[in-house]
Every structure is written in C-alpha cells, then in structure tokens.
Amino acid sequence: MNLKDILSNFGINSERTFNITKHIGLSFIFKFLAIVSNFLLVPLTLDYLGSSNYGVWLVITSFIGWFTFFDAGLGHGLRNRFTEAKAKGDISLARAYISSAYFTLGLICLVLITLFFSINFFIDWTQVFNTSKDLQDKISFLMLIVFSFFTIQLVFKLITTIYTADQKPSISVIVNFLTQITSLVAVFLLLKYSKSSLVLFGLIFSFIPVVIFLIFNLLAFKGIYKDYRPTIKLWKKNYVKDIFGLGINFFIIQIAAVILYTTDNLIITHLFSPKDVVPYNLAFKYFSILSMSFSIIVTPYWSAITDAYTKEDYSWIKKSIRSLMKISLGFSIICVIMVIIADQFYVIWVGKEIVIPFKLTLFMALFVMLSLYIQPFTFFINGIGKIRVQLIIGVLMAIINIPLSIILVKYYGFGVSGVIFATILCSILGLIIYPIQYLKIINKKAKGIWNK
C-alpha cells in the first residue's frame, strides 16, 4: 500500500490535498530538526559572543531584514504568475516570468550593493544601534559583509519561491534546515578554535545561506526545472511589468510588514539597550515553535489556492479554510500550555542569568495566537491576488506601531513588553477585516475595494 492509498483511508482523495499533505509531512520533519538546531544555536552563540554582542547581532540582523522588501515584491508576484502559467500549461510563459524576475532582481541588488558601499563609511552605526563608540570600525566593516551577502541571497532565494509556487514548499524548509545545522556546526567550531569575534561570526553566518541557495539553484536548473532555466534572452519589460503589477502591492505590504514586525529590536535597543533585546528575542524564539509549525501547514495553501481559484474550484477552498481554522484552535490550546511551562523551559534552555518577565511571555503568546487566526485568510487573499485591502490595513498598522510602542513603554510603564503589546493592538485590525473580505469573495459578493 502506497502513501496515496493510506491517505485515501482518511478521506484525502483530492490530488491537490494529497500533494499538500505530503509536503506538510516532509516540512514538519525538517522544520522540527531546524527548530532543534536553532534552539541549540542560541546558548552556543551566547557563549561565543556574550550577551551584549549577541544583542548587537540581533539588532543588526533585524535592521538588515528591512531590506527584504528590495525584491520589490517580485518574489510574491513571481509566485502567483508562475503558478497561473503552469496551471494553464504555458511553460514558455512560466520560464519568461522566471528569467525576468531573476535578472531584474539581480540588477536591483547590484545597484543596492554599490550604493551601500558608497555611503557605509559615512554612517555612525554605533549611534544607529545605540552601542559603544569603540565598535564603529568593526560594525562598519561587518555591515558591508552582511549587507552584501544578504542582497546576493535575495536573488538566489528565488529558487524557493519557484518550488513553493510549484506546490513543493517542503524544499524551502529543507534549505532552512541545512542552513541551521551548518550554522550550528560553524558556531561549535568557533567556540572550540576561535576567540570571540563579532566580525568573524557575521562573515560565516552571512556566507552559509548564500552557498546553500546557490547549490539548490544549480541542482534545480540542471534537474527538475531545466525547462525553466533563466536566460537573459527571455527578459522582457512586459513580463517584469506583469509580475511587478501584482508585485508592487506585495512590495508595499512587505515594507509595512517589515516595519511592523522587525522594528521591535531597534525600538528596544534605543528605549533600553542592546542587552534588553535578548530576553525579548528569546521569548519570540520560544513561541516561534508554534508559528513556524503552523506556517508549515498554511504555506502550501497559497499556491494551491491560486491553482484552485484559477480553475474555479471554490468548494475545495471553502473546505480548506474551515480545516485551517480548526487547526488554529488546536494550536491555540498548545500555546496556552507553552505559557504555563515557559519559566521552566527558559531555565533549561539558557539558564537563570537571563530573566524573561511573565508579562512578556504572555503578550508574545497572545501575538502568536492572533497570527494563527489571521494567516489562513491572508494566505487566501494573497493566493488570489486581491490584496488592496491588506495593503491599506498593513500600512495603517505599520504607521501606528512605532508611536504606540513608545507610548506604552514611556508613559504607561509596560517596559519591553509594551513593544509586543503595541503589535498585538495593531494586529486586531487584520483579525476583523480579513475574514470579512474572504467571505465576500468566496460568496461572490465582493465589490469595489473588496475585490481588488
């Protein structure tokens, strides 16, 4: 009896659902291994860098993370357009979209690296990151390294977009696992053979993902995607416009998401210190077990919904969203249990030296629970490309988040916990609006902005 026969006994007969279930299973295996590697990585990194330098590293990576939006939404635009072209059996169009995305993003990243090299030495990074003036030269050099490798990574990372668009999302998880386990080995070797060095640490951690993404690109375009291999001959302005037409909205949403979710570390380092970023980040990593596990389940649905919506299979979409909401409820129960055992877990994980307040743990749990209920609807909206409402809500949340964080910390005594509580208050908007848009679209009652 093969896997398909086994799953059919559980009522999984749809080819689309079978494919999703298979990749969810693979993703859970490799995500579990990646999470274990990541949790082992934290205490080793703390031992190697020390609490203060680790805080600086967290702030640097958060800052660099802002530049993810410089793919100009091309990744998300490619994801939808590639899925649509493949669903229609148009291989040449799918290849043209891939070629246009790769070479356009490559040009954007080349310009970014050139600009960054030009202005880097004029920026006082110690002021930006609220750290010691003695670190200026080191951080300036480190920023060149991290930013350069990060932008190169943006181009090579498109291969995981292609796999995900082709409803093979487990490949992205496998790449993440290989990055985590390689990084874990690297830190172990650094601890054994090297003195603490923030620059060396940053160099290795920036270089590892680039190499892994490059290998996956070479393997994919020589193997399963050889018919889609990018070529400059297929770069066309109208294909870029087609991807970017959808991608520009994703681009703005990405900027809003980056501001909403990655400014927290910078806010904390300026209102408190880089060292105070550490407990916040540890609480975030703890509950990310849930958010990452749930993302494994929900991620395949984006491209599957694109495929189903293109083929007008609305009954499958409705059934899928109902299933995801039930899963969200189950994950919420697990989240409550994680709050109860959090203090004991923190002690086992990082010892008693770093204290994580219960209020911070509780708010982080609430934030994760909110995202569990929002994600099924945003993935549906993203999958069908009707994202104008999400764009408006995302921008509004991003505008509100930073001043609200400062107000809660400075004037209401929330401490570090106020930063995540501000994000919770902002996210409530999405919890209310996105389900309304889903119901309007799926019941064919969406008009005006709800249908754009």
pLDDT tens series, the chain, 452 aa? 444 444 444 344 566 676 677 777 887 788 788 888 888 888 888 888 887 788 888 888 877 766 665 565 677 778 778 888 887 888 888 899 899 889 988 998 899 899 999 998 888 888 877 777 877 888 888 889 989 998 899 899 999 989 888 878 788 888 889 999 999 999 999 988 888 888 899 899 899 999 999 999 999 999 899 988 998 888 887 877 777 765 566 667 777 777 776 678 778 888 888 788 888 888 998 998 898 889 888 877 887 888 888 888 899 999 999 999 999 999 999 999 999 999 999 999 888 888 899 999 999 999 999 999 999 999 899 888 888 899 899 889 888 988 999 999 888 888 889 999 999 999 999 999 999 999 999 998 989 899 98
Would you call 270 helix, strand, or coil by DSSP? helix
Query: Using CA of residue 241, residue 242, residue 247, residue 248, what is the dihedral sign?
Result: positive
> CA–CA separation, 427 vs 374, rounded Å?
9
DSSP conformational letter for 444: T
Residue 349 near residue 287 (C-beta atoms within 8 A): no
Q: Tell me the C-alpha distance between 172 and 68, whole Å.
A: 16
Report the alpha-carbon distance of residue 194 to residue 188 in Å, rounded: 10
Closest CA to 407 of 421, 393, 428: 421
Question: Looking up tokens 């990372």, which residue turns up?
Answer: 157
3-class DSSP assignment, residue 416: coil
Domain that holds residue 230: 3-451
Domain count, the chain: 1
Answer whether 167's CB lies under 8 Å from 304's CB.
Answer: yes
Both tokens of 130, joined, read: 């609220």
User: What is the structure's pLDDT at 176?
Assistant: 87
CA gap 447, 1 in Å, rounded: 48
Structure confidence at residue 378 (pLDDT): 92
As a whole number of angstroms, the distance between CA 17 and CA 272 comes to: 48
Q: What is the largest CA-CA distance in the chain?
A: 66
CA proximity to 59, closest of 129, 112, 159, 106: 129
d(CA 218, CA 316): 35
CA angle 294, 300, 306 (to 5 degrees): 130
Distance of CA 423 to the CA centre of its chain: 16
Q: What is the pLDDT of residue 73?
A: 62
**Sequence-distant (≥ 6) Cβ neighbours of residue 411 within 8 angstroms:** none
Global confidence as pTM: 0.67
Residue 257, CB-side half-sphere exposure with 13 Å CA sphere: 17
Q: How many CA atoms lie within 13 A of 112 on its CB side?
A: 24
